[in-house]
Amino acid sequence: MMRLWISYLQLVELFVSSLVHMLYGFYIFSSAVAGDLSQALNEYFHKVNNVNVEVREEISKPNQANDLPPIVLVHGIFGFGKGRLGALSYFAGAEKKDERVLVPDLGSLTSIYDRARELFYYLKGGQVDYGEEHSKACGHSQFGRIYEQGHYPEWDEDHPIHFVGHSAGAQVIRVLQQMLADKAFKGYENTSENWVLSVTSLSGAFNGTTRTYADGMLPEDGRTLKPICLLQLCRIGVIIYDWFDISWLKNYYNFGFDHYNMSWRKMGIWGLVDCLLGNAGPFASGDWILPDLTIQGSIRLNYHIRTFPNTYYFSYATKRTTKIMGVKVPSSILGIHPLLFIRVLQMCQWRFPPDVPPPYKGYRDEDWQDNDGALNTISMTHPRLPIEHPNCLVEKESDCLPLQPGIWYYKYVEGDHILFIINRERAGVQFDVIYDSIFQRCRKHVFRKKLPTMPNEINH
């Protein structure tokens, strides 16, 4: 009887979670459509005056902006870049705070590896090459989207870039930097880790999250999905969305699996059945983002990623929990987004199954209770698994100046996982404080100098 009651509660929780996520997705989509319609009407009624003003402003200061190294904002899971969802901004318009900011559109559910490859070609230009070995192992096309013109083709060690990543976007940047150090891009033998000037993480997924297990990943291996769970519903929805391949809809929002050729034109009805049964596609091969966000998956990634001595690192770790009578609970009701409130509570109470080996030696449930509704706070400060990287806690940002490269400076921030994206009004003044400090650090406190060569050192 007790088992039936627990199963019933789990099904109710699954239904509520699915409904909340669907409603939020519909809200985002409808907001983007409404924004586009409003913009189109404004342009129609005020066409001449607005065009003249905008052209003059754009022409007035291109040279000044071109002297600055770009700041690249990298979105997280289910995210989108400039050009998707119409005029809606993933970073809630933060890109307007600086003259030279790029917001790439990467696969919203593709693996960390695939997204890092896409980010490279977005900047340098050319056709995305996922690598022959990786593509064969995962069962997808080796080549993907073509960028006729890179957004920063001069990118090299003498023209390094600032990167800012939210959530999984932070790990994408780290994997990309390691690929640059390993010279992993065919035809670009001169890449190095020094192409990256700074990395700033906002709620970054460095060490995985226990939410992946709550949503359906099996804690036994961090790769397999439970038969009935939220992620199974997500998997089915994504496969069907890609199979129908409605061009205008995919231009508006794309999960990023085009290199898997899941369109009905290419795989037919039996290909769809094969994907739904878990015999083919990204969910069968594990080449999607959720396995990378488990604790085990993050350890596998981090095992190959270094922190480099000439790059500056800074991270903001968010949390929305507090302790009452020795029990971790959400720190607010109204201050947490409705999408995340239940998740904050679930992650506070989640325990690794006692009959399953822990993901690493020394794991303790209590270390992973603080969270922001999507990631555990312990995961966001700095890379710490399997080996802890050099780090420094920051109370006041002015106290850590001048910044030293090769060290992860981190700061705790009270907020949920989506406080600093999508909706600027939710964060209020805190939004400006966070992004102003990020851009100011990139422009004023992070730089790389080459020591001048002295006359008596020329031939030494």
Contact 395, 379 (CB under 8 A): no
Distance in angstroms (rounded) separating the CA atoms of residues 54 and 427: 29
* pLDDT of the chain, 460 residues: tens digit per residue: 656 665 656 676 676 677 766 777 766 777 777 777 777 677 777 765 554 444 444 433 445 556 789 999 999 999 999 989 888 999 999 999 999 999 999 999 999 999 999 999 999 999 999 999 999 999 999 999 999 999 999 999 999 999 999 999 999 999 999 999 999 999 999 999 999 999 999 999 999 999 999 999 999 999 999 999 999 999 999 999 999 999 989 999 999 999 999 999 999 999 999 999 999 999 999 999 999 999 999 999 999 999 999 999 999 999 999 999 989 999 998 899 988 999 999 999 999 999 999 999 999 999 999 999 999 999 999 999 999 999 999 998 877 888 899 999 999 999 999 999 999 999 999 999 999 999 999 998 767 665 334 334 444 3
Helices H, strands E: what count in the chain? 17, 11
- β-bridge mates for residue 162, sequence order: 71, 198
How many CA atoms are closer than 13 Å to the CA of 366, on its beta-carbon side?
3
Q: Are 371 and 348 in contact (CB under 8 A)?
A: yes
Q: Residue 5 has what pLDDT?
A: 61
pLDDT in tens, 205-262: 999 999 999 999 999 999 999 999 999 999 999 999 999 999 989 999 999 999 999 9
Residue 31's pLDDT is: 72
298-325 pLDDT, tens digit per residue, is 999 999 999 999 999 999 999 999 999 9
CA dist., res. 159 & res. 196, Å (int):
9
Residue 460: predicted pLDDT: 38
**Both tokens assigned to 372:** 């922001």
Predicted local confidence at residue 83, as pLDDT: 87
C-alpha R_g of the chain: 23
pLDDT for 458: 40
Q: Residues 202, 166: contact at Cβ < 8 Å? A: yes
Phi-psi region of 393 (alpha: psi -120 to 50; beta: other; left: phi over 0): beta
Domains in the chain, please, with CATH? 71-206+296-318+387-444 (3.40.50.1820)
- CA 415 to mean position of chain CA atoms: 17
- Is the separation of the CB atoms in 277 and 373 below 8 Å? no
Distance of alpha carbon 382 from alpha carbon 392, whole angstroms: 9
CA dihedral defined by 108, 109, 112, 113, rounded to 10 degrees? -100
